[in-house]
Every structure is written in C-alpha cells, then in structure tokens.
Copies of this chain bind each other. A is one copy, B any other.
Amino acid sequence: MPVPTIRLVAREAGVSQATVSRAFSQPELLTPATVEKVLGTAQRLGYVPNQVARALSTGRAGNIALILPDVANPFFSALMRGAQAQAYKRGYATFLGDSDETAHLEDVLLAKLAAQVDGFVLASPRLDEPLIRKHAARKPVVVINRDLEGIGRVLVDTGPGFTAAVVLLAGLGHRAIAYVGAPRTSWSSQQRARAVTAAGAAHGLSVVQIDAGRPSHEAGRDCVAGLLEAGVTAALAVDDVVAQGIMAGLAERGLSVPGDFSVVGCDDIIAATTYPPLTSVNAHCALAGANAVDLLLNGLANPTPPVEGHVIKGELVIRGSTGPAPAPAPAPRGRKAPAEPDPSSRK
C-alpha cells in the first residue's frame, strides 16, 4: 500500500489537486462544503501532506539549524535547550550541528544544511568574518556572541559582571589577580579580558592574563601551576568549566577555596552545583538561545527585517568560591612573581 498522494485524494474526491492542496493550506479560499469533502476523503485514505515536497515548492522548510562548537559544554547545551524549545513553540524543527570547535566543520555544516533550513543560529562561531558573511548572504543568520555589523546578533554582555567581580575581589583585599581565557577567536573571552584588565587598572590591581586554550576542565587544572607562579590570589575564568578545573587543581595542591585562593567563573550553569559553589557571572544561556531564535524567525516573517542586535546583561552571582585575600604567606610560594609588563599603566 503506497503512501497516498495529493493526486489520489483529488481523484477520489472528484476535485483537482489544486483544490486538495488549498483544502490544507488555504481553506478559506474554498467552500466549506468542499473543504469538508476533501478533508474527509483525505482522512479516509490516511493522507498526510508531504513536508518535503511542500518545502521544495514553497522554499520554506519549517526548519532551522543551530550550529555550535561543542554540545558537551554546559553553556552550549543550555543554550540549545532554550533555542530548541523556542523554535518548537513557533512551529519549527531544529537541526543540530556540532562543529567540534573547528571553523572548517562549521563551514561544511552551514553548506550542507542550507537547503533544508530557513535560517541559522550560529553560537560562538569559530568561522572568520568573511565566511560568515558569505553564508549570511545566502540564508538568514543570527549569531550569538559575535559582533558583526549588519548581521542579526545576540550578545551576552558579561563585561559589567566581570567588572563587578573585580570590584568584589578588590574589596576583599586581593592585590594581584589573573584572567584565564580562551583563544583569540572567542569574542566572549576577549570581551571579558578587556573588562578585567580595565577594572583591575581602575582599582589598582595587578592583572595577569593566561591563555588556557580550548576551554575544558583539564585546561583549567593545568594552568594552576602558572597561577601560583604568577603569585596571584584570585582568578577569573572564561567559563565555569575552566573555573571548576582551577578549583580542582588547587585542591590537588592542598589549597582551599576560598581560604587560600578565590575563583570566579562565568555562565552560571554548573556554578551552583560545584563545590564550593562558584561565584559566577550569569550568562542567561537559555535566554540567549531563545532570543536568537526569535530574532531569526521574526526576520523571516518580515520582508526587510531591521538588522537588530539584542544584548543580554550578565550579572554577578556571588557564592562560596570568593573570599578575603589570604594573609601574606610566611614565605612566597614558588619563584618570585614575574614583573608586570607595564607598571606605568597603573599610575
């Protein structure tokens, strides 16, 4: 028994296929009696409109795709949750593409999915700007955490949160702090680094910057040696996963948080579940995902969508991983701290 098609229904109901089509997509164009007759026979035959065929002729797939660097990272899984739920609410299905943190895979996924979706949400894209623009020229695109003029974007502004964190640490008596970041390609990380550097300078703190590479638990743990060598008493990490790694590395060395060292994370997804609970900057991940989808779908509805940017404010959530700076240790740990790059900048 083959799947019934529109032509079969048409023949069976004694109407044209155009009528059947309209009975499903624009019933207001038909006599109620006709609609009823068509839907009746369709029901009887078990006919369901073929979504693929519909997509081909209308050019609308009813799908969107979400491309992100790493589903396993809690920031992105939370974001995805928000995005998928919102897309579902608005009648769209969601493709997932995991680029494994590589620009190339992002590019390939964009190209492969282009025909099947009405638009893309790119979360923290690793792709360089020209390529993003190339794809954006073909299909509507909304980027999350990347500031590209003329392309729809949702930005989570964690700068103020990091500033507040630095202020908090300064108030707790810390004098030397570190920012542990991700590679250059990450807009978020750069933004956070800037906030920390500026706030540190404003409050007379010395700031060391450390690059942890791909943000992971291990990366965080591995940079603890560097932190201690640098002689800082607190670290702000690019995200909670790295922050948790730092705490693990500290624990390995018998240092307690926040007694001996303070740690601040970002995203606030796993922060409440770590031990001790992390002081973290809330990034409202799920909201960002949902907003990106809304922006995208609103753009699809409007013929000439105003290119909007949507900014979400991330605020500091203070928990148990930050405390007073430890009293000056009886003896300095490790070799002497490296001199700051440019002390004059502090005056």
Distance, CA A84 to CA B95, complexed state (A): 10
Answer yes or no: A244 CB below 8 A from chain B CBs.
Answer: yes
Answer yes or no: A55 CB below 8 A from chain B CBs.
Answer: yes
Name which residue of chain B comes closest to A220, CB basis.
Answer: B273
Answer whether A71 and B61 are a contact pair too, CB < 8 Å, given A48-B111, A52-B115.
no
Contact indicator A275/B274 (Cβ below 8 Å)? yes
Contact indicator A115/B48 (Cβ below 8 Å)? yes
Answer yes or no: A80 CB below 8 A from chain B CBs.
Answer: yes
Contact of A52 among B56, B66, B244 (CB under 8 A): B56
**Distance from A241 Cβ to chain B, minimum over Cβ atoms (Å):** 8
**Distance from A278 Cβ to chain B, minimum over Cβ atoms (Å):** 11
Contact indicator A84/B55 (Cβ below 8 Å)? no
Answer yes or no: A51 CB below 8 A from chain B CBs.
Answer: yes
Specify which chain B residues have a CB less than 8 angstroms from the CB of A84 in the assembled complex: 71, 96-98
Of the A-B pairs whose beta carbons lie under 8 Å apart in the complex, a sample of 9, sorted by A's number, is: A3-B114, A3-B115, A48-B114, A49-B115, A72-B78, A84-B97, A93-B97, A94-B97, A248-B277
A142-173 to B contact mask, C-beta < 8 Å, 1/0: 00000000000000000000000000000000
Contact of A275 among B74, B88, B116, B247 (CB under 8 A): B247
In the complex, which residues 39-80 of chain A have their Cβ closer than 8 Å to any Cβ of chain B? 48-53, 55-56, 61, 63, 66, 70-72, 74, 77-78, 80
Answer yes or no: A336 CB below 8 A from chain B CBs.
Answer: no
Answer yes or no: A175 CB below 8 A from chain B CBs.
Answer: no
Answer whether A93 and B77 are a contact pair too, CB < 8 Å, given A48-B111, A52-B52, A275-B275.
no
Contact of A96 among B3, B80, B114, B277 (CB under 8 A): B80
Besides the known contacts A74-B74, A93-B97, A93-B113, 9 further A-B residue pairs in the complex with CB atoms under 8 A apart: A48-B112, A70-B81, A84-B98, A85-B100, A94-B95, A96-B96, A245-B273, A274-B275, A275-B275
Specify which chain B residues have a CB less than 8 angstroms from the CB of A98 in the assembled complex: 80-81, 84-85
Distance, CA A244 to CA B78, complexed state (A): 19
Contact indicator B3/A138 (Cβ below 8 Å)? yes
Contact indicator A51/B112 (Cβ below 8 Å)? yes
Specify which chain B residues have a CB less than 8 angstroms from the CB of A81 in the assembled complex: 70-72, 98
Distance, CA A68 to CA B273, complexed state (A): 23
Answer yes or no: A251 CB below 8 A from chain B CBs.
Answer: yes
Residue from A52, A55, A114, A248 with most neighbouring chain B CB atoms (10 Å): A52
Contact of A272 among B78, B96, B113, B217 (CB under 8 A): B217
A129-145 to B contact mask, C-beta < 8 Å, 1/0: 00000000110000000
Contact indicator B71/A74 (Cβ below 8 Å)? no
* Cβ-closest 4 pairs across A and B: A51-B115, A96-B96, A77-B77, A50-B115
Distance, CA A217 to CA B85, complexed state (A): 22
Residue from A63, A137, A273 with most neighbouring chain B CB atoms (10 Å): A273
In the complex, which residues 106-131 of chain A have their Cβ closer than 8 Å to any Cβ of chain B? 109, 111-116
